Amino acid sequence: MEKRIIYGNGKIYTVDENRPWAQALCVEGTKFIAVGTEEEVAEKAGADAEYIDLKGKTVLPGFIDSHIHAVQGCAEVLFKVDLARAESKEDCLKAIRDFYEKHPGTDFLEGAGWINTYFDDHGPRKEWLDEIAPDIPIVLDSGDHHSIWANSKAIEMAGVTEATVIEGGVLEKDAQTGELSGTFRECAQEPFHAIKPVYSIDKVKKAVRHLEEMMGRLGMTMVHDPMVELYTNYYEVYKVMDQAEELKVKIRGSFMARPESVDSMLDDYLKEREAANKDGRFAANSIKVLVDGVVEGATAFLKEPYAHRPDYYGEPVWSQSSLNELCRWAENHGFQMHFHVIGDAAVDQMLTALEYSAAENGQPNIRPIGVHMQIVDKKDYRRLRERQIVVSANPYWFAKEKGYFYGLEVPFLGEERAENEYPMRSLAEEAGLVLASGSDFPVTQPPAPLMGIQMGVTRCDFREDAGDPANVLNPKEAMTVEEMIRTFTLDAAYVDFAENITGSITPGKYADFVVLDEDIFKVPADTIGQIPILMTVSEGNVIYDAQAH
């Protein structure tokens, strides 16, 4: 018999409807074997069990991030120029220049994190980068990862010209000269991804270890990586580390599909799903598509035109027929579909494809995921319910962010659409959908679930005055603390068909839990994100202990 450990004298919120609260739990190996009162757990554990006194601290199931660009995001943090802390064009250029000067041997400069609001509608310019380093390629991902800023050398290497046409992509051009300005959006990013340096296996392993350290610190025990690219070192490291039993946390993934290459990848999806699903800590059984882009790049696909461009509705990435056929094939072969949808027209495309798939296959949809869901037409709530869409929402964005909401979203969307963006309560109550939460890291840094819970409850930017109604985004959509916890635990597990193995503190499930220093149910809502995490346990193993740091 494996060693048994009792964690007692706690305030344990189990997220198990059969027994929401407990005083103690017992772990044997990787699983919970008892949850209940001190007496009940002690009787089950036996006299030889080790006892750890929780000293009245609050315990929750381990947090699950349902949408995090896990290893690629960590690679950005470790190996690229960080533009996420910049607050202006000048800050971006200074960070790039400083990085280049500190790395004189660099022959390909990468970075990420620049924000569209620092520039005009055509985005940042290649000439600014040429002034810093004209002889090496510079490729910089935007913070939302839907645009790339490149210098002339990178544009030349990518083989892109003013005459280049890329389906589902936008090549920004100078309004006066017609020349490429240096910003490339959506599918027009692909030629630049193709020329980026490939990180070695050792470097990617370092990124995985950084991911696990970050997850422990933030209380996470499972994540979903929505952009697993086949035949890359990122994917290979997931498999290799899992097979070697080196992963400390559970990682689920979606295989990435793009309209220009999907037809040649179908057999690969089948083969690699089999290779990945070996009952370890990494598995992949869904296919991810970007149905549209993002509002800040004016590539989100809308039913009504952009307020600042009254003849423009945004850019669908897929034709409806192509999306229909991929959904039909995927669900016919048992894959779950994972849709990036920002605009209401993109939501409509998703629903149309799922309706087509269900009709053609003669079977229900397979728990499809709708990610982001920024602009949703209430007329589509019935269809969302019929397709049983699982929403992966991003509560970290549920705010009137300073300089962004009034500086970009209101001018682009108009006040009414902007005020009603990011529905959550109405999707749960009116549409009857299951809601999970995710950070979209590295878009959100750090991807702290406690901050996500706070912002889902307050609908307010943590940097602003939570007491000022002017800073609250559509308060009718606010959730309770209990509801937000569920979106980061049991319902996030549901996204990955993992609700029977994790997501709640229930006997028989994996022993995934987090210990908080304060009672999340009693602190002011606008301080939830500041609660210190004392311990994170993944499958019975302590992966973070504040006392050891």
Query: Measured between alpha carbons, how far is 47 from 41 in angstroms, rounded to an integer?
Result: 11
> pLDDT value at position 463?
65
Torsion of CA 502, 503, 509, 510, to 10 degrees: 60
Quote the tokens at residue 265: 């990848």
pLDDT of 135 strictly over 80: yes
Nearest to 61 by CA among 533, 485, 540: 485
Helix, strand, coil percentages in the chain from 3-state DSSP, rounded to 5: 35, 25, 40
DSSP 199: P
Helix (H, G, I), strand (E, B) or coil at 387: helix
Backbone torsions φ then ψ of 268, nearest 5 degrees: -65, -40
> pLDDT value at position 169?
86
Query: Over pLDDT 70: what percentage of the chain?
Result: 99
Query: Over pLDDT 90: what percentage of the chain?
Result: 83
- CA 117, 119, 123 angle in degrees (round to 5)? 110
Helix (H, G, I), strand (E, B) or coil at 109: strand
| C-alpha to C-alpha distances, 49 to 8, 42, 173, 542, 545, nearest whole angstrom | 12, 8, 68, 17, 21
Over residues 407-430, mean pLDDT: 96
Residue 437 bridge partners (DSSP): 393
Query: Measured between alpha carbons, how far is 247 from 283 in angstroms, rounded to an integer?
Result: 12
> pLDDT value at position 222?
98
pLDDT-derived band of residue 465, with 50, 70 and 90 as boundaries? Answer: low
pLDDT of 296 strictly over 90: no
pLDDT of 346 strictly over 80: yes
List, in order of start, the domains of the chain with CATH numbers.
Answer: 73-193 (3.10.310.70), 281-495 (3.20.20.140)
Query: Measured between alpha carbons, how far is 182 from 179 in angstroms, rounded to an integer?
Result: 9
> pLDDT value at position 224?
98
pLDDT of 467 strictly over 70: no
* pLDDT single digits (tens) 501-523: 999 999 999 999 999 999 999 99
Quote the tokens at residue 433: 């959908």
Which sign, positive or negative, has the C-alpha torsion 459, 464, 467, 472? negative
> pLDDT value at position 466?
56
> pLDDT value at position 168?
81
Query: Measured between alpha carbons, how far is 325 from 354 in angstroms, rounded to an integer?
Result: 10
Across 74-83, 122-131, 379-388, the highest mean pLDDT is recorded for 379-388
Beta strands 390-393 and 369-372 are: parallel
Helix (H, G, I), strand (E, B) or coil at 393: strand
Query: Measured between alpha carbons, how far is 249 from 490 in angstroms, rounded to an integer?
Result: 16
Averaged pLDDT of the chain: 94
Over residues 26-40, mean pLDDT: 97
Sequence-ordered strand ranges (E) for 280-418? 282-290, 336-341, 369-372, 390-393
pLDDT-derived band of residue 297, with 50, 70 and 90 as boundaries? Answer: confident
Q: What pTM does this model have?
A: 0.90
Query: Measured between alpha carbons, how far is 392 from 369 in angstroms, rounded to an integer?
Result: 7
* pLDDT single digits (tens) 226-273: 999 999 999 999 999 999 999 999 999 999 999 989 999 999 999 999
Cβ atoms of 282 and 247 closer than 8 Å: yes
Over residues 274-288, mean pLDDT: 91
Q: How far is CA 401 from the centre of its chain?
A: 19
Sheet with 533-538: strands ordered across: 21-22, 11-13, 58-61, 513-516, 533-538, 541-545
Amino acid identity, position 342: I
Over residues 356-380, mean pLDDT: 98
Over residues 299-322, mean pLDDT: 95
Gyration radius (Cα) of the chain, Å: 23
Beta strands 533-538 and 541-545 are: antiparallel
pLDDT-derived band of residue 74, with 50, 70 and 90 as boundaries? Answer: very high
* pLDDT single digits (tens) 392-417: 999 999 999 877 898 889 999 999 99
Helix (H, G, I), strand (E, B) or coil at 155: helix
Least confident of 9-23, 52-66, 180-194, 498-512: 180-194
Residue 286 bridge partners (DSSP): 254, 336
Beta strands 50-53 and 390-393 are: unpaired
Helix (H, G, I), strand (E, B) or coil at 497: coil
- CA 82, 86, 87 angle in degrees (round to 5)? 165
| C-alpha to C-alpha distances, 71 to 165, 210, 253, 295, 324, nearest whole angstrom | 31, 8, 11, 25, 30
Query: Measured between alpha carbons, how far is 492 from 452 in angstroms, rounded to an integer?
Result: 13
> pLDDT value at position 239?
93
Give CB contacts under 8 A, 24+ apart, made by 469-476. Answer: 470/400, 471/399, 471/400, 472/399, 472/400, 473/398, 473/399, 473/400, 473/405, 473/419, 473/421, 473/422, 474/419, 474/420, 474/421, 474/422, 474/423, 476/425, 476/426
Cβ contacts of 174 within 8 Å, gap of 6 or more: 122, 180, 181
Quote the tokens at residue 342: 């920002």
